[in-house]
Amino acid sequence: MPHRSRRSRAPGSRRRGLAQWSPLLLTVVIGVLAVATPKAFAVSRLLPAAPALAASMWTVTATVLLGVLTLAAMLAIQLAFDEPATTFTAVAIAGVTAAAAYAAHVRLQRERTLTQVRSVADAAQAVVLRPVPRLLGGVGIETLYLAAAEEARIGGDFFAAVDSPHGVRVLLGDVRGKGLSAVGVASAIANGFREAAYDEPDLARLARRLERSVNRYSDTITAPDAGEGFATAIFAEVRPARREVTLLNCGHPAPLLLSGGSGAGGSGGPDGGSIRVLDPSAPSPPLNMAALIGGEYTLDTVPLAPGDRLLFYTDGVTETRDRDGRFFPLTEWIAQQTAVSPPHLLALLHRQLLSFSEGALDDDIAALVVRCDGATDHRAAAPSGASPASDR
């Protein structure tokens, strides 16, 4: 995921800093107005609003201290300008400060609980979406993940990559449904892949092994929709020395092959590149569906030229809608980006999806770009990946 620049963070940081000081600023403003306006307005009666505001962002001690400060300010105004209704305002400040201190205490407790929950969610995310190295076995990899819910950490989309004895193997998939049941299925598949990808000699046997893993996992849970926890998935085995990739598509959206020059069977881009949709030669069942619709798996091998990139994505990308209900035109958009490097391509896709949907994503989104010659814009093989909608 693209990192925000300091310039893009600065305005938000300044706004947050100003908001933190707003209770004190409110006290000063009310005090100035109380002095500058006629006594009949009795502006000092608004002073209890300051500790009430502080309860939403300050600690208990700071809130109480502000209440004491507002009480002192009210008494100073009374002594200097003979402000009316001193007793009423003093009682109001004391009462509001006590209530605000309790509210701040409750808020801080809930914030601590939320922090703990987020820590658990981050740990769960690390299990399902482990960071993928940007350079793995001579293959360059970039990833993107966006959660539909702004505060979400994890969802039903998943990806993984390993450098196995059989080639660099990549998996990207999407579990039907949402919530913890979808996360559980995604975790079972991703972790099963990371183990089995080293052992199974071909992708068909790897898919069958993951099919059994998901079946066993589904048998152990009692959620009402446990039997519906199937997942579409796309497997890829990249062999850089042979410059080819073998694909196994288990009911997943077809990946796109982005070539640097014109290529047969693809739509051309404005820079002379081409886009080819890698539809499977025959359908293969989604994971956890083989028993219902059959377990025949079809492998397709595609040659790769230097500089070719493969874009894998979940249906959340193509099903992103604008305000008029139109779907995001991925193929048409990507045709304009055939010369863009993988990390910049995903950065552009990230921004384009958020702009197209006006920030209202309906589904989780995962995307992954593979480049077979290992060319990368990063000198270190640092983990690739994106956190969810926190960067939106």
Phi and psi (nearest 5°) for 148?
-65, -40
- 172 and 234 in contact (C-beta within 8 Å)? yes
Give the DSSP H or E segment for 86: helix 86-128
- Would you state the structure tokens that stand for residue 47, as one six-digit string? 């002073």
CB atoms closer than 10 angstroms to residue 342: 24
Angle at 363 between CA 360 and CA 368, to 5 degrees: 110
Task: Quickly state the pLDDT bin for 246 (edges 50, 70, 90).
Answer: very high
Of 89-93, 194-198, 221-225, 286-290, the least confident = 221-225
Q: Is the pLDDT of residue 379 over 50?
A: no
CA dist 378 and 374 (Å) reads 11
Nearest to 44 by CA among 79, 86, 94, 80: 86
pLDDT in tens, 60-108: 999 999 999 999 988 888 777 766 557 888 899 999 999 999 999 999 9
Question: Is residue 381 predicted with pLDDT exceeding 60?
Answer: no
Distance in angstroms (rounded) separating the CA atoms of residues 24 and 320: 44
Q: For 260, which DSSP code?
A: S
User: Which pLDDT does position 85 carry in this prediction?
Assistant: 57
- Highest-confidence segment of 49-58, 79-88, 125-134, 152-161: 49-58
- Which is more confidently placed, 206 or 385? 206
Rounded average pLDDT over 295-318: 93
Lowest mean pLDDT segment, chosen from 60-69, 187-196, 267-276: 267-276
Q: Which helix (H) or strand (E) holds 161?
A: strand 157-164
Predicted pLDDT of residue 377:
40
Task: Supply the DSSP string of 356-377, one letter for each residue.
Answer: HHTT--SS-EEEEEEETT---S
What pLDDT is attached to residue 387? 45
Asked if the model's pLDDT at residue 225 lies above 70, the reply is no
Region 248-257: mean pLDDT is 96
Please report, for residues 12, 225, 304, 338, 392, the alpha-carbon distance to residue 152 in angstroms, rounded to integers and kept in the order given.
21, 21, 37, 32, 12
Domains and CATH numbers, the chain: 6-121 (no CATH), 130-391 (3.60.40.10)
- Alpha carbon 341 to its chain centroid, in Å, reads 21
Among 72-81, 146-155, 280-289, 334-343, whose mean pLDDT is lowest?
146-155
**What integer pLDDT is reported at residue 349 of this predicted model?**
94
pTM tops 0.75, yes or no: no
d(CA 68, CA 356) in angstroms, rounded, equals: 50
Compute the distance between CA of residue 369 and CA of residue 134 in angstroms, rounded to an integer: 10
* pLDDT attached to residue 226: 53
Secondary structure letter of residue 46 according to DSSP: G
> CA-to-CA distance for 310 and 312, rounded, in angstroms?
6
Average pLDDT, the chain: 83
Higher pLDDT, residue 311 or 73: 311
* Tokens encoding 166: 């059989």
Instruction: Output the pLDDT for position 152.
Output: 57
- Chain centroid to CA 76: 52
Q: What is the DSSP letter of 142?
A: E
pLDDT reported for residue 269: 56
Q: Is the pLDDT of residue 2 over 60?
A: no
Amino acid 77: pLDDT: 80
Residue 264: pLDDT band (50, 70, 90) is very low
Looking at residue 193, its pLDDT comes to 96
Structure tokens at 319: 């099903």
* Confidence category of residue 22, pLDDT binned at 50, 70, 90: very high
